[in-house]
Chains A and B, each alone.
Chain A
């Protein structure tokens, strides 16, 4: 993973120390991205290069129109405040997706972010037309029970499909006879869903 030093970051993006520390405080830049390493000059802080540059771009784009708290909510990986009743979800997801859910958890009436995310991803799987209904159902069950990290990958060999989650898709190496039929970046879907929910 490529890293960039704090010094270089400030120089490259033109942001100030005050801004960086403020965004750290507000959790707009996650604490885990601040990587401390001992260097020749003492302790130096580094960041995952691609992630931080992309994040700062987004922050700079949104900071004049949104409050820091709004930004913090937007970037947090698990917005716990979301609680939607079944009826409201019909505006975001389609009917078919609901039928799938009813087979997994028919009695649920109030949906939290994690639940909506599972449904949202399953809907995309259905729309891709690459999977049978049962396979989408399996994916939904899998997502619902799992921790949701990294990439969701569907690996097909002959007529069997296996769903997997992998932290880094670059680490995935499969045999020739099998193929990765789809790769869904969960974080990307989290962001897409958040935008969808904020427009709702």
Chain B
């Protein structure tokens, strides 16, 4: 990657305008701008309402306001705030989103940090994934470290060495597999949250079918099967079956219907 042609110009759209894709140095859109075609450049800066109808190859992409990228995106650093829509596959070294972001296909990155509401329809492969707010992943999620606080919904398998979840709303993950898995109830504004939940009869809960790991600590989790070496079933859990090969600790109000030592 990298722009190597001799005379490469910047592209600036301000106010309202549109331009064709191509190879540029720095691209900036402020106001309402549209780019048609594939684009290869060093940096893209969008503020206001911008859309790029083509594949993108850039070193850095910064957007604020409303942005739509219709093609595949290949970048080193992506930072978005506001409402951002990625319709194709996104491949980045670092990806940071805040506000409302949606990814129509797959995401591949070394570092993904999202706050606000994020939705990935495909699957995500990341080194480190950190989410706060609401994260929804359509298919599988793979990472070395996965940290989520708020609500996490994953349609496939969450496969990570370390899974650290602080749930504060209804969450559901089809399967979790890894080394160290921790699920806790998010205690921020706990009293207020409890009141709201009670009033609307919402329960903070993580629903999972199967959890498998070496060291597992669970709170507020409802699961069919939990398998591990050392397992701690904490408060407000309802587990149909626990299979453990090392140690099992049960909290007073934990409901475990079958315990099997293997």
With A and B bound together, what is the CA distance between A20 and B228 in angstroms?
A: 12
Flag A59-76 by CB within 8 Å of B: 1 or 0 each.
000000000000000000
Interface residues of B in 208-262 (CB under 8 A from A): 209-210, 212-214, 224-225, 227-229, 241, 243, 262
Whether B227 contacts A42 by the Cβ 8 Å rule is no
Q: Is A102 on the interface with B (CB-CB < 8 A)?
A: no
- For chain A, the bracket of interface size reads 10 to 19
Whether B262 contacts A18 by the Cβ 8 Å rule is no
Partner of A42, one of B160, B213, B224: B224
Whether B161 contacts A18 by the Cβ 8 Å rule is yes
> Separation in Å of the A150 CB from the closest CB of chain B?
29
Partner of A17, one of B214, B224, B225: B214
Interface residues of A in 5-52 (CB under 8 A from B): 7, 11, 16-22, 24-25, 41-43
Whether A17 contacts B159 by the Cβ 8 Å rule is no
Whether A18 contacts B179 by the Cβ 8 Å rule is yes
With A and B bound together, what is the CA distance between A11 and B229 in angstroms?
A: 11
Q: Find the A residue at minimum CB distance from B216.
A: A17
Whether B262 contacts A21 by the Cβ 8 Å rule is no
With A and B bound together, what is the CA distance between A25 and B140 in angstroms?
A: 11
With A and B bound together, what is the CA distance between A11 and B261 in angstroms?
A: 13
Find chain A residues with CB under 8 A from B228 CB: 17
Interface residues of A in 80-102 (CB under 8 A from B): none
Q: Find the A residue at minimum CB distance from B225.
A: A42
| Contact A25:B159 (CB < 8 A) given known A17-B177, A17-B179 | yes
Q: Find the A residue at minimum CB distance from B260.
A: A41
Flag B65-104 by CB within 8 Å of A: 1 or 0 each.
0000000000000000000000000000000000000000
Find chain A residues with CB under 8 A from B212 CB: 17, 21
With A and B bound together, what is the CA distance between A7 and B228 in angstroms?
A: 10
Find chain A residues with CB under 8 A from B241 CB: 41
Find chain B residues with CB under 8 A from A41 CB: 225, 241
Count residues on chain B whose CB falls below 8 Å from chain A CBs.
21
Find chain A residues with CB under 8 A from B177 CB: 17, 20-21, 24
With A and B bound together, what is the CA distance between A21 and B227 in angstroms?
A: 13
> Separation in Å of the B126 CB from the closest CB of chain A?
11
Whether B209 contacts A17 by the Cβ 8 Å rule is no
Whether B161 contacts A22 by the Cβ 8 Å rule is yes
With A and B bound together, what is the CA distance between A18 and B161 in angstroms?
A: 6
Q: Is B180 on the interface with A (CB-CB < 8 A)?
A: yes
Q: Find the B residue at minimum CB distance from A24.
A: B159
Flag B150-163 by CB within 8 Å of A: 1 or 0 each.
00000000011100
Partner of A11, one of B161, B179, B262: B262
Whether B161 contacts A17 by the Cβ 8 Å rule is no
With A and B bound together, what is the CA distance between A19 and B229 in angstroms?
A: 13
Find chain A residues with CB under 8 A from B178 CB: 17-18, 21
Whether B213 contacts A18 by the Cβ 8 Å rule is yes
Q: Find the A residue at minimum CB distance from B228.
A: A17
> Separation in Å of the A46 CB from the closest CB of chain B?
14
With A and B bound together, what is the CA distance between A25 and B262 in angstroms?
A: 26
Whether B229 contacts A16 by the Cβ 8 Å rule is yes
Whether B225 contacts A21 by the Cβ 8 Å rule is no
With A and B bound together, what is the CA distance between A171 and B161 in angstroms?
A: 41
Find chain A residues with CB under 8 A from B213 CB: 17-18, 21
With A and B bound together, what is the CA distance between A168 and B224 in angstroms?
A: 38
Flag B136-180 by CB within 8 Å of A: 1 or 0 each.
000000100000000000000001110000000000000001111
Find chain A residues with CB under 8 A from B262 CB: 7, 11
5 tightest A-B contacts by CB? A18-B179, A21-B177, A18-B214, A25-B142, A16-B214
Query: What are 8 sample pairs from A and B whose C-beta atoms fall under 8 A apart?
Result: A11-B262, A17-B179, A17-B228, A18-B161, A21-B179, A25-B159, A41-B241, A42-B209
